[in-house]
Amino acid sequence: MLWNDTQGLKENMGYLLDKVKADRPLVHQITNFVTANDCANMVLAIGGSPVMAIDQAEAEEIVSPASCLVLNLGTLTSDRVTAMLLAGMQANRLGIPVVLDPVGAGASSLRTRSAEQIAKEIKLAVVRGNGSELRALAGLRSHTRGVESAMDLRQAPFAKQLAEQLGCVVAATGAQDVVTDGRRSLLVNNGDQWLTRITGTGCMATALVGACCGVSNDYLLAAATALTIMGIAGEKAAGDAAEAGNGTFRTKLFDHVSCLSSSELKLGAKIVME
């Protein structure tokens, strides 16, 4: 289905969420050990099926039946990069979309170089990162402080340029999320400051992008849908956690992703077509 206005876009987002639940896409994640459990549980919460594997020896075999491949550079090792390249090339050969999360690009040359190498050698569907990570990936000077982003409210033009440069959808998350394929851009205004109070919400958002790309080849729509779901769930969980704290927020975030219906998604989406 095509979408030309916000209403059509929201209809498509609801349809895509229902399709994830119907198709249960298998999402292979080569990822870090800090948030791996959260990323697997997020794929399950939205309705997909996660698989995780890191050894080069099985990278190609594991990705082959998958609906999507997610490459996440957290707690990266040199060996891991080789497995990512092997899995990514196999995914490219089979037409399986590849989503990259360049965690910590700009914070070390290992991360920056690896992100660049993957973006160069693998045809990507979506890159999801924060402002400073994407800036590093673009070859611009970046000051990634640990794994946090310097917020940049003017990142829309930059994201567009990077999308053209990489030939893929760029999903830049922050106070406002920007999703763009270089021609069309969507601004997602869902989310809550609470999402920065627990670890891994960026990784989890990328895992959701993976699940959505597993059922649609409109990757702009898929990425925007995933970020909107994460944002709405974050808003709801923030309400539950206000009187409780970080542990409750985390638990409720999974609750709300798992319970969100397509009609709630359409109602709650604060999305603008630029």
Residues in the site for a copy of itself, rule: CB under 8 A? 26, 28, 32-38, 40-41, 44-45, 49-55, 57-58, 61-62, 65-66, 74-78, 104, 107-111, 145-148, 197-200, 244-248, 250-259
Torsion of CA 250, 40, 37, 228, to 10 degrees: -30
Q: Which is nearer to a copy of itself, 48 or 182 (CB)?
A: 48
Whole-number minimum distance, CB 88 to a copy of itself, in Å?
A: 17
Coil/strand/helix, residue 145 = strand
- Amino acid found at 1: M
Would you say 111 or 160 has its CB closer to a copy of itself? 111
For a copy of itself, give the closer residue by CB, 72 or 180: 72
Which H or E run contains 81? Answer: helix 78-94
- Kindly state the smallest distance separating residue 232's Cβ from a copy of itself, in Å: 13
Q: Please state the closest distance from residue 107 (CB atom) to a copy of itself, in A.
A: 6
CA atoms lying within 13 Å on the CB side of residue 123: 10
To a copy of itself, the closest distance from the beta carbon of 161 in angstroms equals 27
Closest to a copy of itself by CB, 108 vs 165, is 108
The DSSP annotation for 49-65 comes to: EEEE---HHHHHHHHTT
Closer to a copy of itself by CB, 134 or 257: give it: 257
Phi, psi at 181, each rounded to 5°: -105, 10
Distance between CA atoms of residues 263 and 41, nearest Å: 23
Minimum CB distance to a copy of itself, residue 254 (Å): 3
